[in-house]
Amino acid sequence: MSYQDLVLGLKIDVDTFRGMKEGVPRLMEILARLEIKGSFFLSMGPDASGLAIFQLIKNPRFWKKMLRSRATELYGWKTALYGTLIPSPLIALSFPEQVRSLIAEGHEVALHAWDHRRWQDTLPRRDEGWIRTWFEKGIGAFKSLTGRPPRAFGAPGWVMDERALAVVCTLMPVDYLSCTRAQEPFLYRDFGVLELPSDLPCIEEVGSEGVREKLREMHEKGGVHILPVHAEVEGGVWSTQFEALLKEVLSLQGKITTLEEIANLIDKKSLPIRIPILSVIPGRASPCLV
């Protein structure tokens, strides 16, 4: 698929209870005002965000990221204690009406996680049984909310490996994955599955002006690009800047759509076939698949 103009896919990750409760409704309001649709990747199960305290101790880059992104404003102190001093609330499972509203308004919903924090922090140490159980819980929860299995998956923190790829491709009818920060769509070698990577930066990585500059650059080049969005960020203290970014894209005659639509239109035969690798990218605290 070749586009002369910019085609922007909105990949909206919901990582926390607060993001689901407060960020998703705010984002829905923004998208409704602009008459555009997005892809909401939902965390189903426990919000164990408080376990990130161990990353603060072990990883200096994580501490810098928290300071740069104004983490306490984004997530709140209560979120910072979930899974430690405060029991973990369930995320999407606590808001079935909200999930139904997303679908009713024409947004795509996909699977992001069962337990986001534990996947992001501990996947390399987990065995295949743990990975399979994690997916089974997430898929089961998704079915209970939507009446169908998920058809797309976006890995928490863009952390993924070959074992997880094999499991998700076995348990789900996968139309596409969005698990990497690669610079262009590709097909996974050995699996033949389409990857739609988040090739643009997050606001919490480079600031709203950094994202705006990148979008202007991509507008000049045209083509398909995926903007990673977080309900806690763009649906929180950065909501005004996010809406302004979307308005600018629309003013430049760019198309904003769901990843599902892009997956349906893209010419898979023209895509490279590759195996992604882990790498630390600017603004991230831990390695991502690229």
CA–CA distance, 143 with 276 (Å, rounded to integer):
29
What's residue 49's pLDDT?
A: 85
**Which neighbouring-strand residues pair with 34?**
none
Average pLDDT of the segment spanning 140-159: 98
pTM over 0.75: yes
Q: What are phi and psi of 278, to 5 degrees?
A: -85, 140
Q: Is the distance from CB of 110 to CB of 40 less than 8 angstroms?
A: yes
pLDDT tens-digit map of 9-56: 999 999 999 999 999 999 999 999 999 999 999 999 999 887 665 455
Q: Indicate the residue type of 92.
A: A
Question: Do you know the residue count of the chain?
Answer: 290
In degrees and rounded to multiples of 5, residue 196 shows phi and psi of: -110, 95
pLDDT at 61 over 60: no
Structure confidence at residue 80 as a pLDDT band (50, 70, 90):
confident
**Residue ranges covered by each domain of the chain:** 6-289
What is the pLDDT at residue 11?
A: 99
Place of tokens 């926390």: 16
Beta bridge partners of 195: 177, 186
- The overall average pLDDT reported for the chain is 91
The two tokens of residue 260 are: 């599902």
Which pLDDT score, from 0 to 100, does residue 240 have?
Answer: 97
Out of 3.90.1640.30, 3.40.50.1820, 3.20.20.370, 3.30.470.20, the CATH code matching 6-289 is: 3.20.20.370
Say which range, 80-84, 113-117, 125-129, 236-240, has the weakest mean pLDDT.
80-84
